[in-house]
Amino acid sequence: MSEGTFLGRPLPRVDGPLKVRGRASYASDHALAQRPLIGWIVEAKAAPGALRVDASRAREVAGVVEVLTHENAPAQRPRGEPADADRFTQSHALLAAPRVAFYGEPVALVVAESLEVARHAARLVEVEVDAEEGRFAVTGDEPSELQETPDELDGGTDADVSQGDFDAAWAEAAVRVDATYRTAGQIAAAMEPHATLAEWDGERLTVHTSIQIVGSGVTALANTLNLEEDRIRVLSPFVGGGFGSKLGIHGDAVLASLAALELGRPVRVVQTRRNAFASAPHRGSSIQRVRLGASEAGELLAVAHESLMPMSRGYAFAEACAATARAAYACRGLRTRHRVISTDLPAIDSLRAPGEAVGSLAFESAVDELARALGQDPLDLRLRNLARREPMSGKPFASYDLGRCLEAGAERYGWRQRGPGGAREGDWLIGHGLAAATRPNFLSESRARVSLDEEGQAAVELDMTDIGTGTYTLLTQIAADALGLPLERVQVRLADSDLPRSSGSGGSFGAASAGGAVHRACQQLRRQLEAGGPRSAEGHLEPGEDQEEYAQYMYGAHFVEVAVNAITGEPRLRRAVGAFSFGRVLNPLTARSQLIGAMTFGIGGALLEELLLDPRTGAYVNRDLAEYHVPVNRDVPRLDVLLLEEPDPRCGPLASKGVGELGICGIGAAIANGIHDATGVRVREFPLTLDKILPGLPPL
């Protein structure tokens, strides 16, 4: 065998034929020997407070098998335990106590022979909540004693980081920007709803569920249900999108498992779209203050970025909104701070590019404001202040390609040749905007097994998931390349907890981590075969010295042209160019697809997406895709994506970094900056809807 050349080629998805033929089995699609019962979730319509549930009328309906409530559900470990577990592996107990924590919390599960019967009977369950005064919205006016400092931020970094003397640098600055930005809460809205099919055979619980990290799901169910981990099997071979909302288990998995344990029959629970706004996590709103100070020549002297966000009570999670400020540009004085306020809301957790997605909206808007205050081109200001070392730590970068992204994107867009901001085409005002993108690169411990049979057919096995990102294809390419086999002789089996535990999909670390483990398993197998040894080998990858000694990031730059209707204030994105550097490009086709999807996600956050909260009750009032707006074809122009390859061997055996979340970072700020260029209106509250733009428009 000799090494192949499959990596780096734009190969189509190996799982594509299964999906287009409808043969890919998602969580709720599996056919079992015994027809499953159907569970329908009953939600609380008030919170927080004491709970009473009367399910007597529902139990009388023909076809209803049982109604689970806190009075008869199997015993569970209290929610949040054990104390040393993280948010993905702690107990996710439901129906465990006569109390409601948040509006929309599941308080009963109707289990019936059919969907129609379960749904009908659920309307007969009577739920009463003695609602107490809760805290729901975060306004920024809360007293300091309510503002908590998180133990750590998502990704494991400190809540507060400073370098140099910010106060002295701020005092020295000749030009300053001090602005506050607000971003709305968001929901993942993945195409496949959160769904679970659970089966208990008396010895082992088998759970088909839609999840991004299989291993954490096993541990969480074990902790919730008081079972040993080896008595739980989780499978998730195909996931129809997750965007962070499926990193761990949620209500559907717990409820289906409880019902299966109680009834001894398989149970399917599929969350409705409305359920997902409460029984699945969402991104919290944010209030961010950014201060930038520069010399008259445009040298960035002082950078401060502070954020305040809600945190779900008893569910420790905080976004690193100031991550971009800590990584992008050089300065003499850096100050970053994160605070949270505990609220009685559904779980607030990771949503695609947590921290950088919303943090870049504020930070890169402020950089544009500084450039305009200086009278400088915003591209030149960024290029002038590129960092030589990581600003927050002083560590050397494993690689630093932000400047090349800015220059290559500007050239493709024609930034130097753009027309003046505010140019008019009929009723439309035209503007141009840009923003940089940075996102930390992570490597997560992973294991994989590779075997070769007598016919020369390779089998790759690990519990990694494919959430629509092309994992099956990438791992097939990696194994074929390392073993010197044609693609058709490699079969990849994923997302079964009985297989070697991998990183799972999240944090943009999946391809490099799980792929690195597969690569090492293949290398070990080659060595064994050359020595006449066994035809099966395992590979193990974990972060090493390079991850400790070097700051590792992916980079990008966005350039956009926007149009704003001078009469209505309606904003439109007309074209966008994104230039990205993320190490070695393993598959240009899947990478470009990921970036286009991420840019589209960022367009939604900039212009459309907004969870609307009733501050009196804690209810989200736009709990469907009719009122929670996501981008559709008319909102998204052709997106021009440049892949700037720069293999980085310090980032792992594949010299590749993550890409899935990079494209969302920065594009929203570029759109905001373009709107300002077109109209002179600076909107600091996202999404940038026409009602916020219209009052500042110049008279006709």
Instruction: Return the active site residues.
Output: 661
Task: Describe the crossing of helices 356-374 and 588-607 by its angle, rounded to 10 degrees.
Answer: 70
Q: What is the C-alpha to C-alpha distance for residues 252 and 241, in angstroms, rounded to an integer? A: 16
**Burial of 358 per CB tally in 10 Å (0-12, 13-18, 19+):** buried
Q: What is the C-alpha to C-alpha distance for residues 558 and 569, in angstroms, rounded to an integer? A: 23
599-602-604-609 Cα dihedral, nearest 10 degrees: 160
Q: Among residues 336, 331, 562, which one has the least CA distance to residue 435?
A: 562
Q: What is the C-alpha to C-alpha distance for residues 463 and 239, in angstroms, rounded to an integer? A: 13
Cβ atoms of residues 464 and 447 within 8 Å? no
Q: What is the C-alpha to C-alpha distance for residues 428 and 572, in angstroms, rounded to an integer? A: 9
Spell 427-453 as b/e; 16+ CB within 10 A means b.
ebbbbbbbbbbbbbbbbbebbbbbbbe
Q: Among residues 663, 679, 689, which one has the least CA distance to residue 606?
A: 689
**Burial of 675 per CB tally in 10 Å (0-12, 13-18, 19+):** buried
SS3 annotation, 558-582: EEEEEEEECCCCCEEEEEEEEEEEC
Cβ atoms of residues 406 and 437 within 8 Å? no
φ/ψ of 293, rounded to 5, equals -130, 140
Q: Retrieve residue 643's tokens.
A: 């892949």
